[in-house]
């Protein structure tokens, strides 16, 4: 557009605003219309579409609070790319003919739900014994840009040693003298007073500073942690207050993190996955104040808090879906949902009340990202179990790395657990710290085939294959979430297989590499089905399982080998009923061996392993061999000529060398 035409249009726009005659006459077909109704939007940039009556306009402008934009015309349609501001925006299109405004559309109202603030970014580089942090990648606010006026740096609480930090766009930190991970937060403020924060991490090891690659490295707190699954509906009183009452018991059990089932608004009677509002707490569970108090109380006991988050779909009662159903293609949310060739919304399986989101729509991506960020920014949660992450991966595999980068910008210690198979290497390289112990078949528990028949000895060959992914191993860069029960396993493991097999399986669960999950009431032998509308649990330990789980969790914390990622299956002379495996570390004298009898009768078993094979530990030489059973604290001595290990029915041993002697490798098995 040349300058003269632009000036003519601008003058005409001003004149048209005061002209009462502009617009369609009563009863006449409007000369210019907008295609859809307004509504919520999660973007500052918006494409506005509309139609004009044949021959009515030779130019169209679209007015927003940020100014006027000339639209592109094609036959009887027009499109304009406009910029909006946070909050309410009134949008109107105007029809021009020969430089005169002749008609205006009805007002379209868009509510931008995101805050228009800058985005702080930190670049971290190590040079010699110094750490350099640079805020140069910080982005200006998108809706109404304004220059950054100040940069403030502060150490995060809980760093291993104090840090002295300067002000300014770039700072340099001398390496602290205490090893560990250090977090530094950048607070930026623009000239309009709008602010944002980002946090970066660096590591000191052996007195030397090191960069941390948050794209590939997992937070240190994840190593060795036991996760406790929490469904607030099962607690007394129901909701956040009831969960808080149980925090001491959960911490005493040895858990280091709680995973809360969905806490967002959902229909009455729903477990929580039919989300009606990603930003609003479920009233059944309590108030915002109670939820904040629960998180603070958990953190005060050293418990991390993970939320079960639902990014794949909305409830069929969500206002956006209801609007799309009512208005059809005129709705701002019609394209929010995945649709088949007939225009019908797509569902997975029989989840007809769960409306699948369309990740090709940038509005959807921004909405879901904003909802994740909300719980990190406003409630300081420590991570998410991401529901149906496999389903989003199928439609938009590029989304998860984008989300991961945004969340790590805010909190580099945050963790993402995928509801997807850890055997799929995608999740290890696309933003997730952990994934499920499933087979390659969607939703199939890896141990299911091994424990198929209740009351009988499990198929240990299938179990060995499950533990090693049929010999190929799990991807190195993913933690495996192991479990006996979760929200999707139906009747509890104890109900299906009895108390004796439950004890044996609990030893397995808490001595494997990865992340063990203890789900609501596993430690008390609770019998219920999560989706059957259970009443709050009694928390009565009928089988003395609580001290058993607590002992196993304590051993996991205190035994380096049980926190390592190394697992080596060890053959025995009772492979049909006895499972044995070595857990090793880089230190040859730190190894441990787990031996579990899943059979109904006592046995004396031998490990088919040479003196030097287990964890690479040296042989002791001749004479009797001593190993400590960490489960009982008992010193176990074996005759080197008859190296048999006695195991009770459903008994287990957790063997470690004693007093600097590599007894876990000393003739505990048959010599070559």
How far is Cα 568 from Cα 571, in angstroms, rounded to an integer? 10
How far is Cα 124 from Cα 181, in angstroms, rounded to an integer? 14
Q: What percent of the chain has pLDDT over 70?
A: 89
Phi/psi at 294 (nearest 5 deg)? -60, -45
Contacts of 66 by beta carbon, 8 Å cutoff, 6+ apart: 82, 83, 84, 85, 143, 144
The domain defined by 123-212 folds into Immunoglobulin-like (2.60.40)
Give pLDDT, residue 616: 56
Give pLDDT, residue 590: 81
pLDDT digits (tens, 9 = 90+) for 527-561: 999 999 778 999 999 999 999 999 999 999 999 99
Give pLDDT, residue 488: 97
Query: What is the average pLDDT across 583-590?
Result: 82
Instruction: Report in angstroms the alpha-carbon separations of 170 from 153, 187, 363, 465.
Output: 10, 13, 34, 52
Element (H, E) at 227: strand 227-230
How far is Cα 128 from Cα 207, in angstroms, rounded to an integer? 11
In the chain, ranges of CATH 3.20.20.80 domains: 221-312+362-558
- C-beta separation of 135 from 120 below 8 A: yes
How far is Cα 593 from Cα 10, in angstroms, rounded to an integer? 81
Q: What percent of the chain has pLDDT over 90?
A: 83
Question: 302 pLDDT band (50/70/90 cuts)?
Answer: very high
In the chain, ranges of CATH 2.60.40.1180 domains: 566-665
Helix axes 288-300, 362-379, angle to 10 degrees: 60
- Tell me which CATH homologous superfamily contains domain 221-312+362-558: Glycosidases (3.20.20.80)
Question: 180 pLDDT band (50/70/90 cuts)?
Answer: very high
Q: What does the mean pLDDT of the chain come to?
A: 90
The CATH class that applies to domain 3-112 reads: mainly beta
H helical segments located in 174-332? 240-245, 247-253, 288-300, 319-327
Give pLDDT, residue 639: 58
Q: Kindly report the pTM of this predicted structure.
A: 0.92
Phi/psi at 134 (nearest 5 deg)? -135, 125
pLDDT at 270 over 60: yes
Give pLDDT, residue 641: 54
Query: What is the average pLDDT across 585-609?
Result: 89
In the chain, ranges of CATH 2.60.40.10 domains: 3-112, 123-212
Give pLDDT, residue 643: 65
The CATH class that applies to domain 566-665 reads: mainly beta
pLDDT at 410 over 70: yes
pLDDT at 17 over 50: no
Element (H, E) at 52: strand 45-52
Question: 636 pLDDT band (50/70/90 cuts)?
Answer: confident
How far is Cα 85 from Cα 143, in angstroms, rounded to an integer? 5
How far is Cα 93 from Cα 96, in angstroms, rounded to an integer? 10
Two structure tokens written together for 267: 């229909």
Give pLDDT, residue 534: 73
pLDDT at 298 over 80: yes
Two structure tokens written together for 176: 């602290």
Element (H, E) at 548: helix 545-558
- C-beta separation of 167 from 174 below 8 A: no
In order, the DSSP letters of 394-412 are HH-TTHHHHHHHHHHHH-T
pLDDT at 21 over 70: no
* CB neighbours of residue 280 within 10 Å: 12
How far is Cα 223 from Cα 514, in angstroms, rounded to an integer? 8
In the block, tokens 């942690």 appear at 225
pLDDT digits (tens, 9 = 90+) for 100-150: 999 999 999 999 999 999 999 999 999 999 999 999 999 999 999 999 999
How far is Cα 40 from Cα 297, in angstroms, rounded to an integer? 35
Two structure tokens written together for 360: 């090709």
How far is Cα 603 from Cα 503, in angstroms, rounded to an integer? 17
**Cα Dmax for the chain:** 108
Query: What is the average pLDDT across 416-435?
Result: 96
Phi/psi at 512 (nearest 5 deg)? -90, 160
Query: What is the average pLDDT across 145-166?
Result: 96
First-last CA distance in the chain: 88
Query: What is the average pLDDT across 420-442?
Result: 95
pLDDT at 72 over 90: yes
Give pLDDT, residue 61: 98
Range with the largest mean pLDDT of 554-558, 581-585, 644-648: 554-558
pLDDT digits (tens, 9 = 90+) for 235-269: 999 999 999 999 999 999 999 999 999 999 999 99
Q: Which of 220-229, 334-343, 357-366, 629-638 has the lowest mean pLDDT?
A: 629-638
How far is Cα 411 from Cα 186, in angstroms, rounded to an integer? 11
pLDDT at 211 over 60: yes
pLDDT at 416 over 60: yes
Query: What is the average pLDDT across 11-16?
Result: 38
Query: What is the average pLDDT across 399-406?
Result: 98
Is the peptide bond prior to 237 cis by the omega test (within 30 degrees of 0)?
Answer: yes
pLDDT at 623 over 90: no
Instruction: Report in angstroms the alpha-carbon separations of 573 from 297, 327, 457, 464, 608.
Output: 50, 70, 16, 15, 7
């Amino acid at each position: 557009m040349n300058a003269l035409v632009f000036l003519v249009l601008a003058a005409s726009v001003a004149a048209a605003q005061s002209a009462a005659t502009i617009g369609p006459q009563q009863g006449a077909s409007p000369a210019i219309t907008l295609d859809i109704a307004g509504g919520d939007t999660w973007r500052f940039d918006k494409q506005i579409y509309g139609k004009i009556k044949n021959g009515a306009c030779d130019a169209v402008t679209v007015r927003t609070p940020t100014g006027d934009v000339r639209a592109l015309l094609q036959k009887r349609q027009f499109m304009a790319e406009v910029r909006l501001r946070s909050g309410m925006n009134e949008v109107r299109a105007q029809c021009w003919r020969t430089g005169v405004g002749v008609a205006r559309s009805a007002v379209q109202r868009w509510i931008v739900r995101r805050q228009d603030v800058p985005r702080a970014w930190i670049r971290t580089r190590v040079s010699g014994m110094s750490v350099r942090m640079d805020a140069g990648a910080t982005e200006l606010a998108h809706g109404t840009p304004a220059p950054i006026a100040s940069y403030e740096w502060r150490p995060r609480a809980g760093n291993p040693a104090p840090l002295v930090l300067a002000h300014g766009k770039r700072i340099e930190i001398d390496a602290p003298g205490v090893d560990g991970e250090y977090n530094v937060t950048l607070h930026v403020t623009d000239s309009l007073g709008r602010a944002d924060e980002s946090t970066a991490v660096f590591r000191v090891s052996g007195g030397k500073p090191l960069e941390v690659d948050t794209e590939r490295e997992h937070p240190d707190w994840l190593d060795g942690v036991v996760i406790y699954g929490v469904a607030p509906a099962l607690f007394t009183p129901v909701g956040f207050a009831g969960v808080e009452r149980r925090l001491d018991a959960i911490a005493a059990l040895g858990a280091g993190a709680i995973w809360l089932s969905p806490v967002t608004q959902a229909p009455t009677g729903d477990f929580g996955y039919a989300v009606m509002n990603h930003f609003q707490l479920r009233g059944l569970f309590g108030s915002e104040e109670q939820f904040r108090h629960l998180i603070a109380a958990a953190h005060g006991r050293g418990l991390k808090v993970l939320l079960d988050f639902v990014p794949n779909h909305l409830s069929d009662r969500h206002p956006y879906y209801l609007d799309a159903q009512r208005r059809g293609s005129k709705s701002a949310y019609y394209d929010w949902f995945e649709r088949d060739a007939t225009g019908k919304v797509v569902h997975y399986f029989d989840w007809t009340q769960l409306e699948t989101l369309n990740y090709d729509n940038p509005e959807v991506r921004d909405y879901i990202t904003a909802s994740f960020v909300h719980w990190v920014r406003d409630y300081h949660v420590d991570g998410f179990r991401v529901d149906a992450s496999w389903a989003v991966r199928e439609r938009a595999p590029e989304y998860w790395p984008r989300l991961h980068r945004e969340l790590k910008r805010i909190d580099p210690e945050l963790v993402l657990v995928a509801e997807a198979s850890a055997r799929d290497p995608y999740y290890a390289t696309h933003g997730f710290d952990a994934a499920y112990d499933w087979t390659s078949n969607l939703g199939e528990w890896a141990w299911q085939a091994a424990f198929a028949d209740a009351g009988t000895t499990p198929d240990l060959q299938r179990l060995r294959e499950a533990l090693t992914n049929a010999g190929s191993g799990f991807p190195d860069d993913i933690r495996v979430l192991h479990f006996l029960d979760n929200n999707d396993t139906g009747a509890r493991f104890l109900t299906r297989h009895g108390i004796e097999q439950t004890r044996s399986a609990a030893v397995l669960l808490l001595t494997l590499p990865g992340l063990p999950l203890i789900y609501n009431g596993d430690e008390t032998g609770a019998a219920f089905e999560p989706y059957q509308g259970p009443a709050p649990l009694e928390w009565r330990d009928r089988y003395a399982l609580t001290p058993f789980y607590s002992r196993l969790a304590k051993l996991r914390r205190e035994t380096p080998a049980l926190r390592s990622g190394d697992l080596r299956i060890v053959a025995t002379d009772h492979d049909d009923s006895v499972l044995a495996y070595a857990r090793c570390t880089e230190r040859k004298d730190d190894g441990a061996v787990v031996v579990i009898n899943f059979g109904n009768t006592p046995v004396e078993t031998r490990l088919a392993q040479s003196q030097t094979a287990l964890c690479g530990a040296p042989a002791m030489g001749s004479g009797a061999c001593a190993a400590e059973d960490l489960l009982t604290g008992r010193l176990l001595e074996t005759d080197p000529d008859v190296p048999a290990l006695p195991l009770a029915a459903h008994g287990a041993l957790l063997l470690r060398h004693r007093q600097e002697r590599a007894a876990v490798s000393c003739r505990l098995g048959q010599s070559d």
